[in-house]
Structure 1
Amino acid sequence: MELKRVVVTGLGALTPIGNTKDEYWEGLISGKSGAAPITYFDTEKFKTKFACELKNFNATDFLDRKEARKMDRFTQYAMVASDEAIADAKLNLDEVNKLRVGVIWGAGIGGLETFQNEVLNFASGDGTPRFNPFFIPKMIADIAPGNISIKNGFMGPNYTTVSACASSANAMIDALNYIRLGHCDVIVTGGSEAAVTIAGMGGFNAMHALSTRNDSPETASRPFDGTRDGFVLGEGAGAIILEEYEHAKARGAKIYAEVVGGGMSSDAHHMTAPHPDGIGVMAVMRNCLENAGMKPEEVDHINTHGTSTPLGDVAELKAITEVFGDHAKHININSTKSMTGHLLGAAGAIESIASILAIEHGIIPPTINHEVVDENIDSKLNLTLNKAEKRDVKVAMSNTFGFGGHNACVLFKKID
């Protein structure tokens, strides 16, 4: 069976450095940091007092007030980003065959704030179980794609992938395969997360996963830097319209890039720590290249997982050197988490959008906040430090890894 070609025809982004795909891109290439003191709750007793929150965002600017109240923030974010992507793709909802349009979404946690607030309300009461009737529908991780399909009438495959921080990359790979196999014409994919909450910050602090650079939040996310001390929590959503190539061509759609491959693997090592030798990461990149039918030397750019953790950054770069050999030093490597923070289940989506836009514009966004060389990192690697670089990007790779050892990798190519 000949596989269908799959292309990107629409993008939507809601991020800590921009509330549209264009604002997001401007933030990326200008090296803007999205980190700032938390405004959602009192952080006086928290180890970490900052995060990458959305700025100047009000859900009711986009959604009916009554409907917005029925949604956790992670679903609100999904609705806004998917609306932008659908509009960007110029999909005619009256003409498209909605039985062949799906929504496959990623969320690592889902409605954490809803769960937290309902439990806190119960705990502060007299023991009577007075729960909001929308508690469960607001909380469950699969509700975001459900709401996207309900709004637009999309009746194809509809579900959420949950693989921690690899969730939206896994969603994208599933979407790629459904279209490749001829089951769908169009799939709205991506991911959203809203974990900047009391429970989210407290939980990650308890694991010693977050940076505690409270005196300088804007420089706290510093992937590959010798003084990095953990990741910075972010929030938001990224939406990508994947479409069968001939279907897109027939309707005259703008094509950003082709999705040529997706790979998955497991570290099979530890609940939260990466394999120190990067074995699972090597496997996922090799799987992705094989799936795409491409050679390592064809890759121009890698948007790394690069969370700014002491162990993870080193393991990933070791794996890149092993997989790409001498060609590794000719690749523009970066981590856009230095600007957006870590969006958990939405990370794969917004970082894939960054990779796609790097192909479109011929610019590699920087890895900001780098000050101190880490002796454990190969100095010959081009980590695109502190300043964007112009480059003709024909092939870009996006890496995303999650707690539990979940690894996902997606490969994009400039359209022929």
Structure 2
Amino acid sequence: MEDFEVIEGNITSPKGFLASGVFAGIKKSKKDFALIYSEKKANAAALFTTNKVKAAPVLLDMEKIKNGEAQAIVANSGNANACTGQKGYEDACSMAFMAAEKLNIDKDDVLVCSTGVIGVTLPMDKIAKGIELAVQNLSRDGGKEAAEAILTTDTFTKEIAVKFNIKGVEVKIGGIAKGSGMISPNMATMLSFITTDADISKSALNKALKDTVKRSYNMISVDGDMSTNDTVIMLANGVAGNPTIDEGTKEYQVFYNALLYVNKHLAKQIAKDGEGATKFMEVNVVNAPTEDDAILASKSVVNSNLVKTAIFGEDANWGRIIAAVGYSGANFSQDSVDIYLKSNKGLIKVCENGGYVPFSEDKAKEILSEKEISIVVDFNAGKYEALAWGCDFSYDYVKINGSYRT
């Protein structure tokens, strides 16, 4: 039994948070500017893309987050403000300054995010309009609008909230995310914003976010491309009034479990919304000698374009799966590997001891006809496991990305 309960809501479910999502004109018609605001300065933690090419807002936030504090996040969609040189960095700074001025807070407490087309400078007149409208529209019910405003090629919003108790005090965590394409293990073309009214130390917040990102956003793949703008930000404002959560305590574990659920949920929603996706794919590597081996293997399979196309074609091509395991860098013996395919239609073994095993192609086809598919790779060599999530590769992925800018 979990120590938390999933509730309807998002980033404004925790106490002391307001949000908004508005149309500023950066995109042609849909909402394109979001604001998240804590009524009290919050402890903050963040993780960013490992791509050497980093967007201006990422570079700015990497500096701002060093003190572990923030009070607001401004984010635009439709323009990544990446590869825009000094002008792009100055524009990101201006976004923070303008938002701080309207909110009457310190500019150093405003984090900035952008997502969209690379290599185009921000339309700062529209950014200014977005900030003004977003501040005017801040509300306790604005989380859903903010979730809409950060979308690019996504087909649906990603939102979740949970509640739990810390020494008798109710605490909540809420989150929103965006991501659909340019999704690779080690985050994605994604933004994820998480809020909590928990009182938690800066070090504990940093550790919890880092460890849960490793097991959630870093375990998803749509197309194997890594973005310039990937950002996960978490704000903890302490408004719930619980005793401060520190590392190594029972309360920390409760908080960690709830946060891990939130981040896994959002990560899986991103994978399900992969550009052109027709199937959701889960890869579960079990009985590995170490967790790192399980992680390497599961990420390699979920990131394989050949596996993705086989899943799209409903072809039980287990050779592609074991090949992806083979080049993953994981430590294993081929002679010990078993592979299974699973869905609501059943379970079938397609590989035994690293080689051919007779199986029904018709049954395999039936299993792969479902919308949600699980690939289980059993190393038979230990006690560790890992989960990775992704989607198939369809014709529509090429169509969407062949005309992304137009």
**TM score, norm. by length of structure 2:** 0.26
Greater relative contact order: 1 or 2 (C-alpha under 8 angstroms, separation 6 or more)? 1
When the two structures are superposed, what TM-score results if normalisation uses the length of structure 1? 0.26
Quick check: which has more Rg, 1 or 2? 2
